[in-house]
Every structure is written in structure tokens, then in C-alpha cells.
Amino acid sequence: MAALAGGLGAVMVLHAWIPNRPGNLGSLVQTLLPWTGAAVVPLLGAALVRRSRVALVAVLVPALAWAVLFGPALLADHRAPAGAAADLTAVTHNADDVNPDPAGTARALAASGADLVAVQELVEPAAATYARVLAERYPYHYVHGTVGLWSRHPLSDTRPLAVMPLPRALRATAETPRGPVTVYVAHLPSVRVRAAGFTAGRRNAAALRLAEEVRTGPPGRTLLLGDLNSTTRDDAVAPLLGGNGLRSAQEAAGAGYGFSWPAAFPVARIDQILVRGLTPVSAWTLPATASDHLPVAASFRFR
């Protein structure tokens, strides 16, 4: 039991050193890292049943490691007070290519009141429904393949991004009254847990190419919206963050972890709003739609 407890604590503290080969094990652990605390519960129960002081002390190691690493995020609420001024609000949603109610989902996104709405998994005939419903509130939009951006403000410099074989990434500039904001919308390749391991190679390669697009793109105010199929703790998306000055709006201005997938019982935040050059005011998840993802939102002030 002491060895199990020590090993669990080591996984929590030393996760960045877990190798990705074979099977992208490091990425898998980092994706589910907050849930490592669940393993403390059976260890604690076994220690109590055994009435072993040594076991109880050993279990304290992963318990304290989890509390230090993840307790603050779980308890923290970085949101600004209700009514705090915001200059821009963005929403992103993987709408699910088999969504049985695209019209209802589109209405829910429009009702959010966001200035920018990014949608992934736009497939026909549902894509036409999203375009029709969202056009009522968002007069400007740009769609590339299965991703789209709707805006209350004019869009310029719209272009596709070739970060993966499928057309699932774009860039546009939202011409807001306070100045331009570069907006990226992306849906990185899916990952799977299979016998061969965590199949994240295509996602990792696309994340690197997307990071390069952001690095060489317009400087200044920037938003990256979309389903990245990755948490921000996964080292695979580290080039998108530190190297480009982007940060998670949820971590900067949200409450808790903001898990977004799967909608029925969210266990990970793989839908992201990353920001540079704007000050996050608040971040939150919206109520479930007919998709298997929750929409996520964030509001910002111009510096």
C-alpha cells in the first residue's frame, strides 16, 4: 500500500516527466490528471480497514500532492463580480455532427449574447440550419469546412488554415468598436484510447502547425476558440500556450475546472478559449445542448 500510494503521488508531481512513448502515455495521464485524486479514496479505505498507521501516513502523500496541485483550482473563483464591465464575449461549441436538434443548439448559442460564436462539426444539412438561425443575430460569418465563426462585428482577412488534412481550422479578424481582434477557430483531430495506447499523434502534429500559424500571424489581441481535443495540462499543446503568449480564459477568470466533455458527465476540458492581449473577466460553461460537448464562454476587457 505504501508503494502504491507513493507511486500515485509520484505520478501527480512528476507527470511532466512521464514519457510519451510508447502509446502517448504521458498525454493520457495529463489529460485525466485531476481525476488521479479519485484513486486516493480506495487507498484510504483499505488503510482504514487494515487499521495501519503506516498505510494511513503513506496515503497522505498523494492526498497532499493532489490538494496542492488541484485543490486551489477546484475551490478558486476568479470571476469578476456580477455586472463587471466586459468589452467582448466569445462562445465556442462542438455542436456534434450527429446532433438531433441543430436549430435548438443554434438558438441556445445565439441566446448566450456573445459577440463571437465559434462552431465545430458543421456538417450538412445541419450546417445550413446553423447559418440560418445564427444569421438572425450575427450578420457576419465565415465557414471553412466543418468549422465556422459568427460575429456581431465585421470580419476581415478571413482565410483557411492548413494545419491538418481535413478543413477544420480558420482565421479571421473581428473589427470591433474597440479595435481588431484576431480570431482562430480550430477543431484538432480526435484522440482515442486503444490497445496500442493513446492515439494522439495526428492531434499533436496539428497542434504544432496551429502554434506556428499563431506565432507567424498578426500580433496583438488574439483569441483561439475550439475543440482542441486536449486539456491545457497536456504538454502536446504547450507550444500553443507559452510559446505564443496565449493563456486559458477558464484558468484566468473561471471557477473550478470548467469540464466540457462528455456533456452527460464532463471529465475533461477539451474545448478551449485561449487569449492574448485581452483581460479575461469571466469564463463559464453554458447549459447542455443536444451535443455531446458543453458550450464554453468567456468575456474580456480591452487593455
Higher pLDDT, 147 or 15: 147
The model's confidence at residue 5, banded by pLDDT at 50, 70 and 90, is: confident
The model's confidence at residue 78, banded by pLDDT at 50, 70 and 90, is: low
Looking at residue 37, its pLDDT comes to 81
Residue 79 has pLDDT above 70, yes or no: no
Looking at residue 19, its pLDDT comes to 73
Of 69-78, 109-118, 199-208, 214-223, give the lowest mean pLDDT range. Answer: 69-78
Residue 76 has pLDDT above 70, yes or no: no
Computed over every residue of the chain, the mean pLDDT equals 90
Looking at residue 11, its pLDDT comes to 85
Looking at residue 35, its pLDDT comes to 82
Looking at residue 12, its pLDDT comes to 85
The model's confidence at residue 211, banded by pLDDT at 50, 70 and 90, is: very high
Higher pLDDT, 77 or 161: 161
Looking at residue 66, its pLDDT comes to 83
Residue 221 has pLDDT above 70, yes or no: yes
Mean pLDDT, to the nearest integer, of 169-188? 98
The model's confidence at residue 254, banded by pLDDT at 50, 70 and 90, is: very high
Mean pLDDT, to the nearest integer, of 57-82? 77
The model's confidence at residue 293, banded by pLDDT at 50, 70 and 90, is: very high
The tens digit of pLDDT for each residue in 10-61 reads 888 887 777 766 667 777 777 778 888 888 888 888 888 888 888 888 888 8
Looking at residue 303, its pLDDT comes to 82
Higher pLDDT, 157 or 24: 157
The whole-model pTM stands at 0.87
Residue 7 has pLDDT above 90, yes or no: no
Residue 197 has pLDDT above 70, yes or no: no
Residue 196 has pLDDT above 70, yes or no: no
Let me know: does 300 contact 88? Beta carbons within 8 Å. yes
- State what percent of residues in the chain have pLDDT above 90: 61
